[in-house]
Amino acid sequence: MLMARNKRKVLGILTSGGDCPGLNAVIRAVTKTALNDYGLDVLGYKDGYHGLVTDKFVRLRGDDVSGILSRGGTILGTSNTHDPYRWAETNRGKIVYHDHSRKAAASYRRNKLLGLVIIGGDGTMATAGKLADMGLDIIGVPKTIDNDLAGTDRTFGFDTAVQTAAEAIDKLRDTAQSHHRVMIAEVMGRYAGWLALNSGVAGGADVILIPEIPYDLAKVGEALKARSRRGKRFSILVVAEGAKPLGGQMVVARTEAASPDPVRLGGVGQAIARGIENIHGLDTRVTVLGHLQRGGTPLASDRVLCTRFGVKAAELAAAGLFGQMVALRGNDLVSVPLKQVAGKLSLVPTDHPLIAAARAVGTCFGD
C-alpha cells in the first residue's frame, strides 16, 4: 500500500459551514477509500471547526458510513459560527472574539494526522487556506448549494437544491394560475445568482432576478403587465436573496455578530411584492424557500459527484498532495491550489449562455 511506511496513518475529515445534500456521500467516499485502498484510519471531527478546536471527534469505520450515501445532512454535524480565527464567546453580555487557531493546530498534531479533508464553501476554504499556511496538510472539497465557489465548475449539493426549487416553482404555478396572481419564489444563493438562474429556467419563470444584474422595478412591472395584455393572467418571478435594485442595496434580514459572515440576506421577495402591488396593482404573493433547499435526499448526479470528490480527496492525501482543493473542470476531476480559491466567489457572468437562452424564450431579468 502507498502509505505502508508512513507512521502517520490517520486521515481527518470535517464538514463546515451550511449543510447541503451530499455531505454524507463525501464522508462515505473518503472513509471507504482511505480504509480500503490505503490502509488509513479515519477520524471525523464533530461540528466542523468546533470539533477541531475542542478536539472532539469519532473514529469512522466502514460500518459507520454504510447506508449514508442517500441521507441528507451530515453525520458529523456542522457549524457556520466557529471560525478558529474569529471564535465568538460571550463575556458579560458582550461578544468577544478569540483566535483559537493554535488549538486547532494542536488537535491536528495531537492526533498525528496524515492530513485533514475539509468539506465546505468559500468561507470554509478561506479558513482552510489559513490553516494550511500554519503547516497543516489540508485538502478541500467544494460544497455549497449556491455553486459560488471559485476554482470548480460545480459544487456538490447544487443540483439537488436546483431540483428542490424547480419543484416548488411548479407547485406555485398551479396556485398562480388558479388565483390569477404573480407568485414570487425567493431562493438562496447569497451574492451569486446560480441557483435562481438555473431553477428559474427549469421552472419556466417569467422573471428571474439575480445579484449580477441589478433590476429596475418599472421594467419588471412592464414585463408582468405585458403578459396580462397577452391574456396571461398569472406570472412566476424567481428572485435570488441577494438581488438588488438599480442604485440600491441587498435586503438584509438580520446580522449575527457571532458568525464569520454576519450578514443574513432575506426579504427581497417581500420588497418586490410591495412594489408590484403598490405601483402596478398586481395581486402578488411570496414564498421563501429558505432551508428547504439545503435538505433532502441528494440527486443521483450529486451522489456521483460526491463519490468522485471523496475518492479524489483520499487519493490526494495518500499521495501527499496537500494544500489543494478537489475541483470539477468539464467532466474531469482536477486539484487546484487552495490559495487560488480560498475566500473567492464564482459569480454568474452577465453574458452566460443560460442567460442568453432564457432571454431568447422571453424571460425578463429586470434590466
What pLDDT is attached to residue 260? 67
Q: Is the pTM of the predicted complex or chain greater than 0.85?
A: yes
Mark residue 366 as left, alpha or beta (left: phi above 0; alpha: psi -120 to 50; beta: remaining).
left
287 sits in which H/E element: strand 284-288
The CATH class given to the 161-295 domain equals: alpha beta
What pLDDT is attached to residue 343? 80
Q: What does the pLDDT look like over 252-308, one tens digit per residue?
A: 988 776 676 778 889 999 999 999 999 889 999 999 999 999 999 999 999 999 999
Cell triple for 122: 468559500
Q: Are strands 263-265 and 252-255 parallel, antiparallel or unpaired?
A: antiparallel
Instruction: For residue 65, report the phi and psi dihedrals to the nearest 5 degrees.
Output: -110, 5
Q: Where are the domains of the chain?
A: 10-156+298-341, 161-295
What pLDDT is attached to residue 7? 59
187 sits in which H/E element: strand 182-187
Written as tens digits, the pLDDT of the chain (367 aa) is 344 444 559 999 999 998 999 999 999 999 999 999 999 999 999 999 999 999 999 999 999 999 999 999 999 999 988 999 999 888 888 888 999 999 999 999 999 999 999 999 999 999 999 999 999 999 999 999 999 999 999 999 999 999 999 999 999 999 999 999 999 999 999 999 999 999 999 999 999 999 999 999 999 999 999 998 998 999 999 999 999 999 999 999 887 766 767 788 899 999 999 999 998 899 999 999 999 999 999 999 999 999 999 999 999 999 999 999 999 999 999 999 999 998 889 999 999 999 999 999 999 999 9
Cα-based distances in Å from 291 to 187, 189, 199, 203, 224: 9, 11, 15, 19, 28
* Separation of alpha carbons 293 and 161, rounded Å: 5
Q: Which residues are catalytic?
A: 146
Please tell me if the domain spanning 10-156+298-341 has the same topology as the one spanning 161-295.
yes
> What would you report as the CA-atom Rg of the chain, rounded to the nearest whole angstrom?
22
* Separation of alpha carbons 112 and 119, rounded Å: 20
Please choose, from the candidates 192, 239, 194, the residue with its C-alpha nearest in 3D space to the C-alpha of residue 344: 192
Give the right CATH number for 10-156+298-341 from 3.30.1330.10, 3.40.50.720, 3.30.9.10, 3.40.50.450: 3.40.50.450
For residues 150 and 329, is the Cβ–Cβ distance under 8 A? Answer: no
What pLDDT is attached to residue 1? 39
For residues 23 and 143, is the Cβ–Cβ distance under 8 A? Answer: yes
What pLDDT is attached to residue 359? 98
DSSP 108-152: HHHTTEEEEEEEE-HHHHHHHHHHHHTT--EEEEEB-TT--BTT-
